[in-house]
Amino acid sequence: MLADQAEGASWTAAVAAVDGLSARDFRRLAAFIQDYSGIKMPESKRTMVEGRLRKRVAATGAADLADYCARLFDDGGLADEAVHLIDVVTTNKTEFFREQEHFRILETVALPRLLAERRASPYTTLKVWSTASSIGAEPYTLAMVLADASQRHGGFRIDIIATDISTRVLETAAAAIYPEEMIAPVPLEMRQRYLLRSRDRAQRLVRVVPELRRLVRFGRLNLMDATYPVDRDLDVIFCRNILIYFDKPTQQAVLAHLCDHLRPGGYLFLGHSESAAGFGLPMKPMGASVFRRE
């Protein structure tokens, strides 16, 4: 019995070794992913990458991970596969009202100041960019907060652009359908105004109301691109919990681009462990990982 178990364990380990990524293939994948998206892939991520890529192995008809990598790097298939590869290896953690203090600062500090600076215009449009929108929780949270504020402040216009490098999550975001448990952080009065429950209650799904969905425009964008097809007079940019995946030179480049797209007086919101300080940018810290363009 023990001999059989030992033989079985040995066979399982041998299969895993054959089916896994070689050190060379992982290095090639990690280098491409970082060059393309800025996301670092240390050796500790190797098992995660293997697991996620097996779906692409099956979808492409490759024999195994080694064959898949050969098609990418040796047979010229990388250009056609790049978007799909990035889709499966990127992590898209998100939730409604994540880091809630940011939305309080937006509502009570940034917004009154932004509106006061342009009070002379009766048709003020507040321009906001969610740079790593994932499945849409962040931009729809922004839409809820700003829609409520618009009613209190005389009806300013709202234009939210939401981008992500993953086409997969953008499809989910555009559909705006979420499991009920995901909306737990949304205040009850906002749920009643901005979320519709499925007619089939057994599905336990909700959808963002059409009038709120119309405030948000989704599109694919890679923060590693040399230029961004986004307005350069934005009032607010949310770029949270993405810089932590970049090395310092990449952080510098991305923050410089974001700064260029903020109008003077505009606000940049980063993740709680991220900062725009120390990069020589005209950004003034406002607390809680919030910066104001000077």
Q: Which of 156, 151, 147, 142 is nearest to 267 (CA)?
A: 142
Average model confidence (pLDDT) across the chain: 90
pTM: 0.86
Cα(121)–Cα(12) distance, rounded to whole angstroms?
A: 69
Output Rg (C-alpha) for the chain, integer angstroms: 22
Give the count of alpha carbons within 13 A of 203, CB side only: 10
Q: Decide: 205 and 178 in contact? Cβ < 8 Å.
A: yes
- Decide if 284 is inside a domain: yes
Query: Residue 265, SS3?
Result: strand
Instruction: List the catalytic residue out of 25, 87, 164, 235.
Output: 164
Same domain for 264 and 202, yes or no, is yes
30 with 105, same domain: the answer is no
Q: Give the span between the Cα atoms of 173 and 186, in whole angstroms.
A: 17
CA distance 262 to 70: 43
> In b/e form, how buried is each residue of 8-43, taking b as 16+ CB within 10 angstroms?
eeeeeeeeeeeebbeeebbebbbebbbebbbbebee
- Residues 206, 64 within the same domain: no
Instruction: Work out the average pLDDT over 267-288.
Output: 94
The number of distinct structural domains making up the chain is 2
Helices (H) and strands (E) in the chain, counts: 12, 10
Question: Do both 206 and 149 map to the same domain?
Answer: yes
Domain presence at residue 185? yes
Q: Is 52 among the residues known to form the active site? A: yes
* Pair 53, 81 in one domain: yes
Q: What is the pLDDT of residues 9-61, one digit of tens each?
A: 433 333 334 468 999 999 999 999 999 999 889 999 999 999 999 989 999 99
Identify the active-site residue in 52, 191, 197, 207.
52
Does any domain span residue 226? yes
pLDDT of residue 91: 72
At residue 252, the pLDDT reads 96
**pLDDT band with cut points at 50, 70 and 90 for residue 202:** confident
Which residues make beta-bridge pairs with 234?
A: 262
Both 127 and 262 in one domain: the answer is yes
Say if residue 29 is in the same domain as residue 106.
Answer: no
Q: Which residues pair with 162 in a beta bridge?
A: 130, 218
Domain encompassing residue 207: 100-293
Contact at 8 Å (CB) between 128 and 159?
A: yes
User: What confidence tens digit (pLDDT) does each residue in 162-180 have?
Assistant: 999 999 999 999 999 999 9
At a CB cut-off of 8 Å and minimum separation 6, what does 128 contact?
142, 146, 158, 159, 160, 161, 234, 235, 236, 237, 238
Q: Is 159 a catalytic residue?
A: no
